[in-house]
């Protein structure tokens, strides 16, 4: 808990450089795949995806926290919930219109809690040993990267987390250790209702 509190309270300003988002994402999944061989991990991204201007360490931490949450959601399933279905976590990276980069993390765990609107609040947790800081850290990192984070129910059970980044704004920050002069009006959190496109 001390480490997470320190990360949240003393997080440095991001240092923006052009990085391979594919490398960051693959490394995140690989570390969890080694630790959790009973869960099936998958990754999807198009060829030729351009670099993303970001703080590699911080974005990696955000993705790590999200995948860790997905792992815990799968491990929280009861035998009745899981049935014969193996735990699965997928990550997909793609470009969207208007210079947006999308990262989606999908799991077939227990799904979102009833108080889904509060899950990114500091110290808000539904787990007995949770600190309630993991998603708060992710939210802070995403906002400092001029991004948004949305949660949705996955068809068939589980959760979809969608991160969206404004690559045009981030490109103006390459090589800097601060934020753009423009207002971060688009940054924030959106909690979504179940969608038909829950799977990747």
R_g of the chain computed on alpha carbons: 16
**Is residue 189 scored above 50 in pLDDT?**
no
In this prediction, residues 86-113 reach a mean pLDDT of 95
pLDDT digits 0-9 by tens, 40-92: 999 999 999 999 999 999 999 999 999 999 999 999 987 766 676 899 999 99
Residue with the bigger pLDDT between 158 and 184: it is 158
Contact partners, residue 192, CB within 8 Å, separation at least 6: 150, 151, 152
Burial class (CB in 10 A: 0-12, 13-18, 19+), 83: exposed
CATH class of 2-191: alpha beta
Model-wide pTM > 0.75: yes
**pLDDT recorded at residue 188:** 46
The answer to whether the beta carbons of residues 143 and 188 sit under 8 Å apart is yes
Mean pLDDT of the chain: 81
Three-state DSSP class for 188? strand
In this prediction, residues 139-143 reach a mean pLDDT of 94
- For residue 64, give both structure tokens: 């790590």
**pLDDT recorded at residue 113:** 81
């Amino acid at each position: 808990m001390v480490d997470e509190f320190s990360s949240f309270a003393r997080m440095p300003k991001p240092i923006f450089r052009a990085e391979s988002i594919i490398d960051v994402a693959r490394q995140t999944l690989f570390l969890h795949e080694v630790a959790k061989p009973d869960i099936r991990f998958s990754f999807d991204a198009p060829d030729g995806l351009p670099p993303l201007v970001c703080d590699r360490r911080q974005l990696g931490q955000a993705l790590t926290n999200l995948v860790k949450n997905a792992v815990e959601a799968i491990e929280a399933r009861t035998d009745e919930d899981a049935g014969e279905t193996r735990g699965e976590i997928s990550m997909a990276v793609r470009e969207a219109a208007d210079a947006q980069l999308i990262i989606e993390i999908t799991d077939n765990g227990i799904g979102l809690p009833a108080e889904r609107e509060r899950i990114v609040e500091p110290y808000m947790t539904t787990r007995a040993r949770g600190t309630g800081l993991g998603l708060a850290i992710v939210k802070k990192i995403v906002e400092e990267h001029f991004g948004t984070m949305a949660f949705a129910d996955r068809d068939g059970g589980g959760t979809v987390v969608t991160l969206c980044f404004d690559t045009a704004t981030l490109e103006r920050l390459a090589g800097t250790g601060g934020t753009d002069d423009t207002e971060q009006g688009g940054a924030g959190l959106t909690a979504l209702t179940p969608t038909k496109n829950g799977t990747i």
